[in-house]
A and B are shown apart, each in its own frame.
Chain A
């Protein structure tokens, strides 16, 4: 989204074809509604699903255009993100305690100025790697941050249900109620959310025994989106390498650009679909290898420098057969009970079982 107006006056979207996703969504919604009456967006009619999907905002990150702001000390998207969100950055009041009984804790408060990775104080960064493609060495700058997944495992698996999603699809962590267990980071294929110890609700509960801090990550400038404004990273980018807009429009444009350049798209199918589409002339498996090599060279094993593994699966996708089984289980239980009870009613007489009992008077 290069202009504010694109959000204010959305173009009428083209008639929607039934994609695999929309089909699955509709089918699942029907089964869900049939089984449990619950008020979610999913159980609404297909028409409502479509209108809700129309509100989703996606982004294109053009790796051909991004040069990592080579003449700036820090990429401008990174600076803009830090400036915009600095009032939300964690400020531990005292030295954070270890995560008992472990002898460690995650504390980035002394490295608040770091811009070379994702931290609780840096929600986007630009990874720079050199790739040998078609016999030519090429340096690529890759702005990284939360991909804002369509089926976000971090949101679905948060044990306290404190990760939300806006109408625009921005996945956001409630920093006031997050316990900092870091499950969201572990369930995210890219380890995006980063933890700061010594802050958050656990400090008021059992800071020594339970809780680990608060998880932080990009929220797609959800407040700006609500106001119809562009996210800070897009506004700051001098190369128009970052562009936000309606999901369908962005997806279409990403594939068109990739097709024109004989390039590749990353983020549309990964983790069962995201709202971020990277486009590149260089295959993403090569970029992924280059990131891994760079991390290996730096002996960097900490989370905060995500991979770009193509076609990475959503961990919840493996559980897809279980919904049907969960719905069948009570039906099977009821059927078994019916058969057994009927059989007993026909033939069972408990007095026969006690025929040997001699009652005392």
Chain B
């Protein structure tokens, strides 16, 4: 259990990141569940209605719950963007060469060779972030339009109604695909070492040194500079 000691762990995700991640995850799951109810799917496909899920076939109920989690998501998304913008933390933004880098890592995994060293985030993590940024961004923008057009007294044009609905549905599909990809990444054993980061905040130091070598060097250099 020596790797659990503070000396052998490195903080990867402070509380703020973890709260943002889990609240985003929870709100997105609830938005998908209630959104599918709005499509409508449950009345037709849920042959057996599990106890406590009757509300899912009620449009009024699913709409209200959808709104509640949309408000939570809007809060979290804005918080996340502004927080990292102020702190100038851009580690997760895609960089030039990330597609090539992702392929190189994939190749190394398949051929069981040593991976090229990574920064705090792997190139594919940065690309996944960009993917979610586009998908969630599209869902948020079209979602806000959909909320406004539902207000009594507001009459949206046919074009706005059509495109807001179609793009919101597209964003939902993109997000579902993204969540599957995100969870699917943990099929790869090497990636599972990142899991603790999103629960406790810490990841194993040796793992960081081996895989996220650039990041390791950076924080080591920084800490030495401050003579820690």
Which A positions have Cβ atoms within 8 angstroms of B?
21, 24-25, 27-29, 32, 35-36, 38-42, 99, 101-102, 150-151, 155-165, 181, 183, 186-187, 212, 272, 314-320, 322-323, 325-326, 329-334, 336-338, 340-342, 344-345, 349-360
Contact = CB atoms under 8 A, between A and B. Distances in A.
B39 interface: yes
B87 A344 contact: yes
A163 to B, nearest CB: 8
A40 B78 contact: no
The residue in B75, B82, B155 that gathers the most chain A C-beta atoms within 10 A of its C-beta is: B155
Given A25-B153, A38-B160, A322-B147, 4 more contacts: A158-B161, A314-B152, A325-B67, A331-B78
A223 to B, nearest CB: 16
Q: Which 7 A/B pairs are nearest by Cβ-Cβ distance? A: A161-B165, A333-B78, A337-B82, A329-B74, A341-B86, A337-B83, A164-B158
Nearest to B223: A351
Contact of B149 (A102, A156, A163): A156
A334 B82 contact: yes
B71 A329 contact: yes
Nearest to A26: B153
Interface stretch (B58-66, B93-101, B110-118, B129-137): B58-66
A165 B44 CA distance: 28
Interface SS of B by simple majority: helix
B158 A165 contact: yes
Interface stretch (B6-14, B175-183, B184-192): B6-14
Given A337-B82, A341-B82, A28 B16 contact: no
A32 B148 contact: yes
Interface SS of A by simple majority: helix
Contacts of B14: 353
24 contacts: A21-B153, A28-B152, A28-B154, A29-B154, A38-B160, A39-B157, A40-B155, A42-B155, A102-B47, A156-B161, A160-B162, A164-B161, A165-B155, A186-B40, A317-B152, A323-B151, A332-B75, A333-B79, A337-B78, A337-B82, A345-B86, A351-B228, A355-B223, A359-B216
